[in-house]
């Protein structure tokens, strides 16, 4: 979806031509997997951090065009709404003090954004769901002018036969509503973690990413409130899944945990993109088949919580990476990098276990862990590789943190780095205080005042303190 398109209107001929290109490119990609075409450099990490611009009243500020013009920073790009932005990290080889390098660059970008926002009487908030957002903010008037987003909206509604989107979430409270466009998606902001992998190990890393998703979303949860309703610890998960639902079967959900592990190769995901998912954005491009332009655009309209991506380096060599999408934005810059460290280390260890963890934990159990973690956060219980159920805190402290430590050591990350970044996760789990828990504690002490809670949240965020240290 990062690819811009020329127009938002398509003809039947566009769909037919795009389908031909997509099939050709999928066949070529399959041959690349078979003949070892991919660049095999591994342990390169990166991220995308989605954020919200808010005004002095802590309401969404739809000023992205003037903000970006004033900012003039190539690492910051627009998103779906005119009050959203995305901060990108430069790809970094994961060794030595790489985690601190990722943090330093993100902090520099964040400080630049905060400075420019301040000059415009605005602020930048990194939080899974902005507590002050209202349905009246989520209209086409606040949609980015980029053609691809308007096309997405038109095509989702076309596939729904013009029926409005339906949102139904039951947690501590229940929320049921209909919405006339895909702008509900812009209420959900994520911290998307990228890891370049060897294509030969693609299935193992993809499956390991699914297995770690339940504990990750529980540990990182930061989205308990939507439109004043107390829902899931990570309400962003059901919100996003329903915000771009095209209807149809569970097998064609555009935002999905998936229906099984990869059996032999991650190529199975791209074959599914071709065979199971109707084309949403049939922009026919004048690009050689080797650029995989149509395949990549189709893949960009399927938001798997763990999404395989094909990229090309500056020399034109193709590479494969996993985009781990389960983590919300926030609560602080250092919390976000600690989340990335936990993922990098744990997924690397799981992918290299002698006995594949996907042979020990049924896919159904991994999926149930994910939704249980999203709903209950650090209060969840999850099944693990031995078939037993554990409180997620015990699972993390006794099993996953040691695995993550081993994984980071295998990448030759400095010991002090490992201790510092995984120490943040350990303290968060031990105190039971992630972003969702902090927000609920604040409301318990101060009442359901979303504006005041957002003010307190931003003060803590800007202090640089870690979420488990935040006062109520």
Selection from 363, 167, 168, 382 nearest residue 257 by Cα: 363
3-class DSSP state of 313:
coil
**Within a domain: 472:** no
Locate 206 and state its tokens. Answer: 């993809």
Q: What residues contact 183, with CB distance under 8 A and at least 6 apart?
A: 80, 81, 138, 139, 140, 142, 143, 153
Task: State how far the Cα of 77 lies from the Cα of 240, in Å rounded to an integer.
Answer: 20
* Counted domains in the chain: 1
How confident is the model at residue 251, as a pLDDT? 53
Which residues of the chain fall below pLDDT 50? 1
CATH number at residue 281: 3.30.590.20
How confident is the model at residue 2, as a pLDDT? 55
Reported as type and span, the H/E element at residue 87 is strand 84-88
The DSSP letter of residue 327 is P
pTM above 0.75, yes or no: yes
| Residue 51 φ then ψ, to 5° | -140, 170
**Within a domain: 6:** no
**Within a domain: 29:** yes
Task: State how far the Cα of 79 lies from the Cα of 85, in Å rounded to an integer.
Answer: 5
**Within a domain: 371:** yes
| Contact between 211 and 223 (Cβ < 8 Å) | no
Residue 144: which domain range?
12-466
Task: State how far the Cα of 9 lies from the Cα of 7, in Å rounded to an integer.
Answer: 6
Task: State how far the Cα of 176 lies from the Cα of 169, in Å rounded to an integer.
Answer: 7
| Contact between 192 and 323 (Cβ < 8 Å) | yes
Give the bridge partners for 256, in sequence order. 304
3-class DSSP state of 318:
strand
Residue pLDDT, tens place only, 204-240: 999 999 999 999 999 999 999 999 999 999 999 999 9
**Within a domain: 210:** yes
3-class DSSP state of 166:
strand
How confident is the model at residue 1, as a pLDDT? 47
The DSSP letter of residue 225 is E
**Within a domain: 435:** yes
**Within a domain: 7:** no
How confident is the model at residue 39, as a pLDDT? 84
**Within a domain: 1:** no
């Amino acid at each position: 979806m990062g690819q811009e398109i020329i127009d938002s209107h398509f003809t039947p001929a566009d769909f037919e031509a795009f389908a031909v290109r997509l099939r050709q490119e999928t066949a070529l990609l399959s041959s690349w997997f078979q003949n070892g075409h991919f660049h095999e450099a591994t342990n390169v990490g990166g991220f995308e951090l989605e954020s919200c611009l808010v005004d002095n009243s802590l309401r969404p500020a739809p000023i992205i065009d003037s903000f970006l013009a004033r900012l003039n920073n190539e690492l910051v790009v627009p998103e779906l709404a005119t009050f959203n932005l995305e901060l990108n990290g430069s790809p970094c080889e994961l060794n030595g003090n790489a985690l601190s390098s990722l943090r330093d660059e993100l902090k520099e970008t964040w400080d630049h954004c905060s400075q420019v926002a301040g000059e415009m009487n605005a602020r930048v908030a990194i939080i899974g769901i902005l507590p002050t957002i209202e349905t009246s903010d989520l209209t086409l008037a606040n949609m980015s002018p980029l053609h691809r987003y308007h096309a997405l909206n038109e095509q989702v509604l076309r596939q729904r036969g013009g029926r409005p989107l339906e949102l139904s979430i039951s947690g501590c409270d229940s929320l049921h509503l209909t919405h006339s466009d895909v702008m509900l998606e812009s209420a959900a902001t994520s911290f998307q973690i990228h890891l370049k992998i060897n294509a030969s190990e693609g299935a193992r890393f993809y499956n390991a990413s699914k297995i770690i998703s339940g504990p990750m979303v529980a540990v990182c949860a930061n989205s308990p409130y939507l439109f004043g309703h107390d829902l899931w610890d990570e309400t962003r998960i059901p919100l996003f899944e329903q915000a771009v639902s095209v209807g149809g079967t569970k097998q064609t959900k555009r935002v999905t945990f998936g229906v099984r592990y990869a059996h032999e190769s991650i190529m199975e995901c791209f074959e599914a993109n071709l065979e199971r998912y109707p084309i949403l954005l049939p922009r026919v491009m004048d690009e050689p088949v080797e650029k995989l332009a149509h395949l990549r655009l189709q893949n960009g309209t399927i938001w798997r919580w763990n999404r395989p991506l094909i990229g090309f380096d500056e020399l034109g060599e193709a590479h494969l990476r996993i985009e781990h999408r389960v983590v919300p934005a926030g609560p602080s810059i250092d919390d976000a990098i600690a989340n990335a460290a936990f993922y990098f280390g744990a997924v690397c260890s799981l992918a290299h276990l002698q006995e594949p963890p996907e042979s020990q934990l049924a896919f159904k159990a991994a999926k149930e862990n994910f939704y249980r973690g999203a709903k209950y956060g650090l209060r969840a219980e999850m099944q693990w590789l031995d078939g037993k159920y554990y409180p997620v805190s015990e699972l993390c402290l006794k099993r996953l943190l040691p695995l993550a430590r081993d994984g980071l050591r295998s990448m030759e990350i400095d010991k002090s780095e490992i201790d510092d970044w995984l120490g943040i996760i350990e303290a968060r789990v031990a105190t039971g205080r992630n972003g969702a828990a902090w927000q609920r504690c604040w409301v318990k002490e101060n009442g359901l005042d979303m504006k005041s809670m957002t003010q307190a949240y931003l003060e803590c965020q800007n202090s640089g303190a870690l979420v488990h240290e935040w006062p109520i």
